[in-house]
Structure formats: C-alpha cells, structure tokens
Amino acid sequence: MTEPNARRPRRKFTDEFRADAVRLATSSQTTIAQTARDLGIGDTLLRVWIAAAKTPETSLTMSERTELATLRRENRRLKEERDILKKATALFAREQR
C-alpha cells in the first residue's frame, strides 16, 4: 500500500508525442478533454501543450525550452551572487580606510 502523500513519479513525454497529441487535439472532432483521456494524459497538460505550440517560440523543442529555463534560473542566481560580492567588496574597502 502506498502512503497517502506519496507522489507518483513524474512522467516524461517525447517531443514527438507532444506534437502528435497537439496535432490530434486540434484536428479531430472530439473535445480536448476527450482527446486527453484517450491519450492517458490530463486535459490541462494538453491545453498547455496546445498553447505552447501557438507561441512564437515554436522553433524551440521542449528540451531546448527546458534548457533555456534552467539557464535563465542559473543566470539570475549568478547575477545575485555577483551583486552580493560587489556589496561585500565595497564594504571591506570602506573598512580599510
């Protein structure tokens, strides 16, 4: 028996599966919710994929988008660290006078 608060492992979907799901949802006569049920995914997830497919960044694959998000987080963290070091250097310079 699993714990009540145990999380299921996160499923990973290939870019090809996502593209096929979006194509199926947008070209079929069924609703997005029904298409999602048929594919075994949540309808909210499918709606997110459809919205992402309509954005100008359609030239980026999902793995590239993930990498871009990771790099942006790292860049933000590095800028914060740099700013802290600048302030510390200024503080030490004032103390040396």
Q: Is the pTM of this model over 0.85?
A: no
Question: Which of 13, 69, 62 minimizes the C-alpha distance to 42?
Answer: 13
- State residue 3's pLDDT score: 66
Same domain, 71 and 93: yes
For residue 5, tell me if it sits in a domain: no
Question: Which of 15, 11, 13, 27 minimizes the C-alpha distance to 58?
Answer: 15
pLDDT in tens, 70-91: 999 999 999 999 999 999 999 9
For residue 2, tell me if it sits in a domain: no
Three-state DSSP at 9 gives coil
pLDDT in tens, 1-23: 556 677 878 889 998 999 999 99
For residue 97, tell me if it sits in a domain: yes
Q: Structural domain tally of the chain?
A: 2
pLDDT in tens, 27-67: 989 999 999 999 999 999 999 999 988 876 557 788 888 99
Q: Which domain holds residue 53?
A: 11-59
Q: List the structure tokens of 44.
A: 């909210």
